[in-house]
């Protein structure tokens, strides 16, 4: 057998043992086969792999956390605390996320295969070259730039000549976009009252909500906020803190992806007949609030493009306050 043929055979054998790549970037190989499942389906309660490796009890003990919902983990980075996906958490660097995530989970995602958590071997990190601050003017520029950007954010979120201290003008209201806060829903309500306001509620004509979304978009706001809505009970449902009922569905509620699809129904107003929409197409998206509820308090989050969603009341977000008066007051 010639040297060329032997080489080709060796290459073919080597290729046959090479790990296949899942067709989509948000997928991962199951433990005992080349079958792929989506990363967000890990520990969601369904045996998506068929071998139950995505629902392994030991893996799920490390995967699930009390800080964030679903396929998210808390990332402490650059003075911020945000809930982001595991893939995003593990992919960030310079600086990386700090938080409760076991590094073996990140290694598993990097290996692109579900594994027994105790069998995962961490790669030895390489040492990055040291850069002297004295020879890196960009470091000093970044610090100065950060200071100016932070001052600009303060001017646009908690300062305005026509509003009381800690408020800015958004539309016809004085709103405190207290993005540096990190409070529970009850703490946020108490904070707003302490600075002479209440948690933000959406007006019936949506005018203040539209103005708020435009303000967030114009000023690149990325924090999550508590607003003045909560689930009271099964008979009252969702209610604003001014005791108005909160209409479910469009236009303020967020849309969430669900691992299990479901059909939707429509009711004919003329004949009062309920039927499945679009010939029973199964959809993977549902509009908040969740069933069962994720939480009893209302928030608008960057993840959901500042549409409203039900959240656990004890989780921490920034308070969004508004003065009770319709017209801004001159600050003294």
DSSP 270-304: TT--EEEGGGG--EEEEESSPSS-S-SEEEE-TTT
CA–CA separation, 184 vs 128, rounded Å? Answer: 39
Length of the chain: 332
What sign results for the dihedral spanned by CA atoms 110, 111, 113, 119?
Answer: negative
Per-residue pLDDT of the chain (332 residues; tens, 9 = 90+): 444 444 434 443 343 334 447 877 788 999 998 889 989 899 989 999 999 999 999 999 999 888 887 778 888 888 888 888 888 888 887 788 888 899 999 999 988 999 998 898 887 755 444 444 444 444 444 565 656 666 666 666 777 888 888 898 999 999 999 888 889 999 999 999 999 999 999 999 999 999 999 999 888 888 999 999 999 998 999 999 999 999 998 889 998 777 788 887 888 777 778 888 888 888 887 778 877 788 899 999 999 999 999 999 999 999 999 998 644 333 32
pLDDT of residue 239: 95
pLDDT of residue 150: 64
The answer to whether the beta carbons of residues 324 and 197 sit under 8 Å apart is: yes
Nearest to 86 by CA among 69, 73, 103: 73
Annotate 311-322 with b (16+ C-beta within 10 A) or e (fewer): bbbebbbbbbbb
pTM of the model: 0.53
| Residue 200 burial by Cβ neighbours in a 10 Å radius (0-12, 13-18, 19+) | buried
Rounded to a whole number of angstroms, the CA Rg of the chain reads 25
Token pair of 79 as six digits? 């003075």
Asked if CATH classification 3.10.100.10 holds for the domain at 144-253+288-322, the reply, yes or no, is yes
What sign results for the dihedral spanned by CA atoms 96, 97, 99, 103?
Answer: negative
The residues facing 298 across adjacent strands are 310
CA–CA separation, 12 vs 98, rounded Å? Answer: 43
Q: What backbone phi and psi angles, to 5 degrees, belong to 159?
A: -145, 135
pLDDT of residue 307: 95
Provide the 3-class DSSP secondary structure of residue 139: helix
Nearest to 106 by CA among 132, 88, 119, 94: 88
pLDDT of residue 189: 95
The answer to whether the beta carbons of residues 254 and 309 sit under 8 Å apart is: yes
Provide the 3-class DSSP secondary structure of residue 135: helix
CA–CA separation, 166 vs 178, rounded Å? Answer: 8
Task: Give residue limits of the domains in the chain.
Answer: 21-119, 144-253+288-322
The answer to whether the beta carbons of residues 230 and 296 sit under 8 Å apart is: yes
CA–CA separation, 114 vs 310, rounded Å? Answer: 31
Sequence-distant (6+) residues with CB within 8 A of 293 are 231, 310
């Amino acid at each position: 057998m010639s040297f060329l043929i032997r080489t080709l055979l060796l290459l073919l054998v080597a290729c046959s043992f090479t790990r296949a790549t899942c067709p989509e970037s948000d997928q991962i190989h199951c433990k005992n086969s080349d079958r792929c499942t989506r990363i967000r389906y890990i520990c969601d309660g369904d045996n998506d792999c068929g071998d139950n490796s995505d629902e392994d009890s030991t893996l799920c003990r490390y995967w699930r956390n009390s800080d964030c919902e679903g396929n998210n983990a808390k990332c402490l980075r650059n003075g911020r605390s945000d809930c982001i996906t595991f893939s995003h958490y593990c992919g960030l660097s310079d600086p990386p996320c700090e938080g409760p995530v076991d590094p073996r989970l990140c290694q598993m995602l990097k290996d692109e295969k579900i594994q027994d958590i105790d069998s995962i071997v961490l790669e030895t990190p390489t040492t990055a070259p040291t850069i002297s601050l004295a020879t890196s003017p960009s470091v000093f520029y970044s610090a100065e730039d950060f200071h100016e950007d932070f001052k600009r954010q303060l001017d646009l979120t908690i300062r305005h000549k026509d509003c009381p201290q800690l408020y800015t003008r958004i539309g016809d209201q004085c709103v405190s976009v207290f993005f540096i806060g990190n409070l529970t829903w009850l703490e946020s309500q108490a904070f707003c009252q302490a600075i002479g306001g209440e948690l933000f509620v959406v007006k019936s004509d949506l005018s203040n909500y539209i103005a708020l979304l435009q303000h967030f978009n114009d000023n690149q706001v990325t924090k999550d906020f508590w607003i003045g809505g909560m689930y009271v009970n099964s008979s009252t449902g969702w209610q604003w803190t001014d005791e108005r009922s909160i209409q479910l569905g469009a236009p303020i509620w967020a849309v969430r992806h669900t691992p299990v699809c479901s059909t939707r129904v429509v009711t004919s107003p003329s004949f009062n007949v309920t039927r499945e929409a679009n010939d029973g197409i199964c959809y993977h998206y549902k509009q908040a609030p969740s069933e069962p509820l994720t939480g009893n308090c209302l928030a608008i989050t960057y993840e959901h493009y500042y549409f409203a969603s039900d959240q656990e009341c004890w989780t921490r977000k920034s308070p969004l306050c508004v003065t009770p008066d319709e017209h801004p007051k001159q600050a003294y």
